[in-house]
Amino acid sequence: MKFGILVNEGPYTHQASDTAYQFARAALAKGHEIYRVFFYHDGVNNATRLTVPPQDDRNIVKRWSELAAAHKLDLVVCIAAAQRRGLMDKSEAKRNAKDADNIAPGFRISGLGQLIEAGIQADRLVVFGD
């Protein structure tokens, strides 16, 4: 089956991102396809490479990046939600005259249309939120 995943909460405060990650990993292990993972609301904070959790804790951002690299996942961060919350890639930082960017490997910034498209293309769109 082809899944789309929507993550609506940031890392650590809520379990949503953890559960979405576990779901994605389990689905891939069973041979299913993940069409796209879309990050919205505070979920965009899952994409900051500047996160530094304690060493004995899981690294939620790094885990997403590694899963994306291993399975060629499409991790998409909503641009409007990202701009509100200070998530930038290089080109967005330049366009908005900011002095830094912070997006983690494997993530890309794009529009809400990518979420709708995931709903259209996937057999199931699974929402992880609070």
Given 80, 90, 94, 98, the residue binding another protein (CB under 8 A): 80
Only one of the segments 24-32, 49-57, 59-67, 77-85 lies at the binding site for another protein (rule: CB under 8 A); that segment is 77-85
Q: What DSSP assignment string belongs to 71-104?
A: HT--EEEEHHHHHHHT---HHHHHHTT-S---BP
SS3 assignment, position 24: helix
Choices 19-27, 69-77, 79-87, 100-108 (CB under 8 A): range interacting with another protein? 79-87
DSSP annotation string for 29-76: HTT-EEEEEEE-GGGGGGGBTT----TTS--HHHHHHHHHHHHT--EE
| Span interacting with another protein, options 27-35, 69-77, 98-106, 114-122, rule CB under 8 A | 114-122
Give the residue numbers marked as catalytic. 78
- How far apart are CB 86 and another protein at their closest, in Å? 14
Q: Is the dihedral of CA 66, 67, 72, 73 positive or negative?
A: negative
Question: Would you count residue 26 as binding another protein (CB under 8 A)?
Answer: no
Footprint of another protein (CB under 8 A): 6, 8, 40-41, 80-81, 84, 111-113, 115-117, 119-120, 123-125, 127, 129
